[in-house]
Chains A and B, each alone.
Chain A
């Protein structure tokens, strides 16, 4: 819980409301981050960076629901993995270009999100999480059985065709900048959603749903739209990932993937603008560089999860912001 301190404020004359919001600061940080990411391939392996970006976008999409509406989805892998299958299949089997494949995957995730969302938002709290988990498990078995997903093998060797007929994606560095652009677009969509009239209502629902209803908001409709936006962007991340790794597999739709995105968001900072990016970077880096430990990576992840929940409940970015807030 947040410590609430009642500030000692005398009945002072009217203070004008603060006009400047945190928007300018956030966008400056984001601009800096983009510059850093643009220079990153000079020192880091582009495929690794693309993986981080895809998962960062996935975590950002997930955070829109948990952080700003207070809905814990435990089935987001179905949107991520579902979109990965669609984009991998359309590109490989139908010969679509990558940009069309990504669009198709994203759109399918949005439609799936509308169906799943309209069922799940009827329930609250743990029941919401359980409904999303149950539907994601059904989707997993559908993917396991359906012929076009390639079952246990997945869809492998998705060709990297040129994007827009121009950009040669067989070179990792070219594809990296495409992925960076997709990531930036996704971030800006989410950022705008959070800081919009719609976002204000979402925060009100997160803070006190009965009160929002009593003010005349049909809260289910707002939750559903947030769910669809979140699912669509999770799909964008998954569809892009399939193009980058030329692969869509059962790993992408398995419940462990849903768990991983929860972990990333928690580690980075739930309900913070940049937390999911940091969390995704930390977890993916661990998986990559600690791969030598084999199955022990899971144990290490579990330990980090416990430490975060016990000691840094606001996550890395949340704790950092609180620390800076205390100093200024």
Chain B
């Protein structure tokens, strides 16, 4: 098996008259935490949406585990073991926490189209769902609708739901955005824990989280890769300093 779980070649996305992502060759090493950073409008989220197939690339290819997924559908990506989160917290607000996690667990049962089968047939999954909620410290709220959780706990629920699929690869879109200091620490610890036997690609603005967690950092600017390496390498790169601060500060 190749060292790289994801390889993109010449990945390009053009919107009308604007190139959001330009010829990006991104390689993500298996079993690492890889961060995608860059100033606003650098194309981080577009890149992310391309890899998870929520957007169609204009040009270029994406390979996942050596397999070409350039033309795959977003729902199929999840079935291959690659699950994403969203910038705004992605829960099912009026389902309970237990149901939120169970929705992710129930697909492999193969009864998801069975409209004649009682809901109680899903109870067999409750134990596993509770264990996942326990893993992120949400057991006490299992019967509450997700809408009533605080923002930080919603992100934790989202991670529990994602973990329910036992993905090989996690893609986290700004996992700590909009969070208070305390929540950031909790979520960062959680990411580190779940990344133990997985590959993680995350878009993140909080540089202390990035330096703390990531093995490799790719800096994007104006849709192109500006620099790549460890935090120490990247943070000393004059181009990166330029992109973040503007010329004249260095």
Distance (Å) between the CB of A164 and the closest chain B CB?
24
A214 touches B103 (CB 8 A): no
**Which A207-251 residues have a C-beta within 8 angstroms of B?**
207-208, 210-219, 221-222, 225, 229
Complex Cα–Cα for A210 and B103 (A): 14
Q: A4-B147, A208-B91, A211-B92 are in contact. Are A196 and B103 (CB under 8 A)?
A: no
Tell yes or no: B71 within 8 A of A by CB. Answer: no
Most buried by B among A197, A198, A207, A213: A197
Complex Cα–Cα for A195 and B95 (A): 13
Distance (Å) between the CB of A21 and the closest chain B CB?
7
Partner of A201 from the list B103, B117, B134, B165 (CB cut-off 8 Å) is B103
Tell yes or no: B235 within 8 A of A by CB. Answer: no
Q: A7-B148, A200-B122, A225-B115 are in contact. Are A218 and B73 (CB under 8 A)?
A: yes
Against B, the Cβ 8 Å flags (1 = close, 0 = not) of A14-49 are: 110111010100000000000000000000000000
B112 touches A5 (CB 8 A): no
B90 touches A211 (CB 8 A): yes
Tell yes or no: B144 within 8 A of A by CB. Answer: yes
Chain B neighbourhood of A219, CB < 8 A: 75
Chain A neighbourhood of B104, CB < 8 A: 215
Tell yes or no: A160 within 8 A of B by CB. Answer: no
Against A, the Cβ 8 Å flags (1 = close, 0 = not) of B151-180 are: 000000000010001000000000000000
Against A, the Cβ 8 Å flags (1 = close, 0 = not) of B139-155 are: 11111100111100000
Tell yes or no: A12 within 8 A of B by CB. Answer: yes
Interface size class of A (residues with CB under 8 A): 35 or more
Chain A neighbourhood of B150, CB < 8 A: 6
Distance (Å) between the CB of A316 and the closest chain B CB?
20
Q: A11-B140, A15-B142 are in contact. Are A215 and B147 (CB under 8 A)?
A: no
Chain B neighbourhood of A212, CB < 8 A: 92, 103
Chain A neighbourhood of B60, CB < 8 A: none
Complex Cα–Cα for A23 and B118 (A): 10
Chain B neighbourhood of A213, CB < 8 A: 54, 74-75, 78
Against A, the Cβ 8 Å flags (1 = close, 0 = not) of B91-135 are: 111110011001110110101111111110111001000100010
**Which A264-315 residues have a C-beta within 8 angstroms of B?**
none
Tell yes or no: A199 within 8 A of B by CB. Answer: yes
Distance (Å) between the CB of A173 and the closest chain B CB?
32
Complex Cα–Cα for A294 and B98 (A): 52
Against B, the Cβ 8 Å flags (1 = close, 0 = not) of A165-200 are: 000000000000000000000000000110111111
Complex Cα–Cα for A292 and B87 (A): 57
Complex Cα–Cα for A216 and B84 (A): 10
B75 touches A217 (CB 8 A): yes
Chain B neighbourhood of A322, CB < 8 A: none
Tell yes or no: B12 within 8 A of A by CB. Answer: no
A198 touches B113 (CB 8 A): yes
Complex Cα–Cα for A222 and B119 (A): 16
Complex Cα–Cα for A9 and B142 (A): 12
Complex Cα–Cα for A58 and B79 (A): 37
Partner of B75 from the list A195, A208, A218 (CB cut-off 8 Å) is A218
Tell yes or no: A103 within 8 A of B by CB. Answer: no
Closest A residue to B109 by beta carbon equals: A197
Q: A195-B118, A207-B95, A208-B90 are in contact. Are A5 and B142 (CB under 8 A)?
A: no
B93 touches A207 (CB 8 A): yes
Partner of A13 from the list B107, B113, B140 (CB cut-off 8 Å) is B140
Complex Cα–Cα for A204 and B144 (A): 16
Distance (Å) between the CB of B144 and the closest chain A CB?
7
Complex Cα–Cα for A199 and B92 (A): 14
A192 touches B83 (CB 8 A): no
A17 touches B119 (CB 8 A): no
Against A, the Cβ 8 Å flags (1 = close, 0 = not) of B76-89 are: 10110001111000
Chain A neighbourhood of B122, CB < 8 A: 197, 200
B115 touches A229 (CB 8 A): yes
5 closest Cβ contacts across the A-B interface? A216-B78, A207-B92, A211-B90, A198-B115, A14-B139
Chain A interface residues toward B at CB < 8 A: 2, 4-7, 9, 11-15, 17-19, 21, 23, 192-193, 195-201, 203-204, 207-208, 210-219, 221-222, 225, 229
- Name 22 A/B residue pairs within 8 A (Cβ), A-sorted: A4-B148, A9-B140, A14-B134, A18-B143, A196-B114, A196-B115, A197-B106, A197-B114, A197-B117, A198-B117, A199-B119, A200-B103, A201-B112, A203-B92, A203-B99, A208-B92, A211-B90, A212-B103, A213-B74, A215-B103, A216-B79, A218-B73
